[in-house]
Structure formats: C-alpha cells, structure tokens
Amino acid sequence: MKYTYYPGCTIGTTAVEFGLSTDAVCEALGVELVELEDWNCCGASSAHSLDHELALRLPARNVALAQKEGLDIVAPCPACYQHVLQADRVLREDEHWRREMEAMLGFTYTGQPRIRHLMEVLTEPEVLEAVRRRVTRPLKGLRVASYYGCVLVRPPEFTGWDDPEHPTRMDRLMAALGAEPVEWSYKVDCCGASLALSRSEVVVALSTRLAREAQEAGADVIACACGMCQINLDTRQNLEKKIPVLYFTELMGLALGLSGVEKWWNKHMVNPRPVLQRVGVG
C-alpha cells in the first residue's frame, strides 16, 4: 500500500509524537507514505476565518501537486484532511473556479487522488488483519475511550465515515490491539479547538467535561486522532485525577512492540506510564 503523505504543519511541532508514531507504525505495517514534495500549509483556522478564497486555494495547490503522483492523499490532521477534501470537492463541482485554479497552478484536474484520513487507512480490513498478526504486546486490560473530535467525521455527506454520531473505526482498531474499547457518548463532541488561544475558559470547560466523562465510562486512557484535540485534552482538563490522552498511533506502536515508544510520551503533560504499568502494558 502506497500513499501520498500530506503531514501538515503540526506534525513536526506541537504534534511531533503523532508524526513519529505515524512513521513508525506505517513502516511496521508496510504502509508506504511518500511525503508530498513542496507541500504548503492548508490554511488551518486562520485562512478560513479571514479569506475564504485563500482557504480554498492553499489546499487546492496541494491537490494539484499530489495529482502528479497518482496516489491517494493521506493526512493525519483532521483540519488538513477537511481543508484538502473541501478544495477537492470545489474543484470537482465548480467548473469556473476549477478552470481558474488550473490556469493559476498550471495543471489539469482529473479528480484522481482520493483524500483520506490516516485513521481511515489504518482501519481498512486488510490493515486491521495485519495489525492483529503484528501485535506482540497486546493491550489486554487497558480500557480506551476512542475520541474523534468534532471535525474528523463531519459533514458525513463528504467524509463518508461509518457513523457521524457514533463512529466505530477506532474502537475496532483498539480491539485489534487487544485493548477494551469503552462505550461513551462523547466520541465526536468538541474540545474547543483553537479557542484555546482566545477563549481558554471555554476549552477548559469542554476538555474537562470530556476527560471526566471518559473516566466515568471506566476508561484508563483517551485515544485521539487530532493534534488540537490531544493538546487541549492533555493540558486543559481541570481534574484532580487526570486521564492520559494518547494518539491512537502511539497505542498502536506500544502493541506492535516498536522501539522508542516511551520517547513519544515525553511531551505529554499527563504521564501515561503509571496507568499503562498498572494494567501491565507499559
């Protein structure tokens, strides 16, 4: 399996452990990620807040670059995934804008690359089977609350996930790792996202509620698929007893017995080691 890889800006900065674990897990499973050459920022929160046209043109350029490779595009960041997906949809549906972008970027849109999130790729049936075969350190006894955040699965008419209100892909992955997915009702609730910069009290309230509800559901850890979600839940939960928040790829690396896993945890504010050691998987 080979994909064009669009890492996005946070993979090498605030979500560096997401990037490191993604690289290691994909290599172990034979999922080849070829980084998109000369990629640019998708615009993240700022572009679509300030300039609608720029917010489309930035990810459209990445679509144009990826089309040369003829491979599906994989993005680990839900915001990047959504922005590239949106640009691709407008290229596909708005002929006037498509022609304008083709002239500007010097390419002819074919609609060939499919935009996919990393979670989608790593939960395809054949990959899940490879995960089950590759597990050397089953996460038996670890209760995991799967958290997708509000961006990844919506809007469902464009993303095509299994269920926009109760997705189960991450649960199936956690089960393949030997962990126990817990049932809870906050899988796709918002953590506050970029309001962390302007309305931190909102993020504290939302993230605290999510952390508390995960604990009340019996979870030992929260698994997430978004750099913004991870940093908000990890740093803004206002609880006396805090719950560790790990990227799903970090838990995969642990179960697959990959070397250097503990180095990924050094940036986490809530140290996952005590919980993992208590259940015998750390």
Measured from the Cβ of residue 257, the count of other Cβ atoms closer than 10 Å reads 12
Instruction: Count how many Cα atoms sit within 13 Å of the Cα of residue 182 in the half-sphere of its side chain.
Output: 21
pLDDT (tens digit per residue) in 82-121: 999 999 999 999 999 999 999 999 999 999 889 999 999 9
Backbone angles phi, psi at 222, to 5 degrees: -110, 130
Q: What are the structural domains, with CATH classification, of the chain?
A: 2-118 (1.20.1050.140), 138-278 (3.40.50.11810)
CB 211 within 8 A of CB 234: no
On whether the CB atoms of residues 62 and 105 are closer than 8 A, the answer is no
Binned at pLDDT 50, 70 and 90, residue 161 comes out as confident
What one-letter code names the amino acid at 158? Answer: F
**Above pLDDT 70, what percent of the chain?**
100
Q: How far apart are CA 1 and CA 97, in angstroms?
A: 33
The helix (H) or strand (E) run that includes residue 93 is: helix 78-93
d(CA 40, CA 55): 12
8 Å CB contact between 203 and 191: yes
3-state secondary structure of 226: coil
pLDDT > 90: percent of the chain: 84
> Are 41 and 111 in contact, with CB atoms under 8 Å apart?
no
Amino acid in position 188? V
pLDDT of 53 reads: 92
Structure tokens at 267: 């940036």
Q: How far is CA 27 from CA 2, 21, 227, 271, 277, in A?
A: 11, 10, 21, 26, 26
Residue 195: Cβ-neighbour burial (10 angstroms; 0-12, 13-18, 19+): middle
What is the spatial distance between Cα 150 and Cα 170, in angstroms, rounded to a whole number? 15
Average pLDDT, the chain: 94
The pLDDT tens digits for 29-77 are 999 999 999 999 998 877 777 888 999 999 999 999 999 999 999 999 9
Cα of 138 vs its chain's centroid, Å:
22
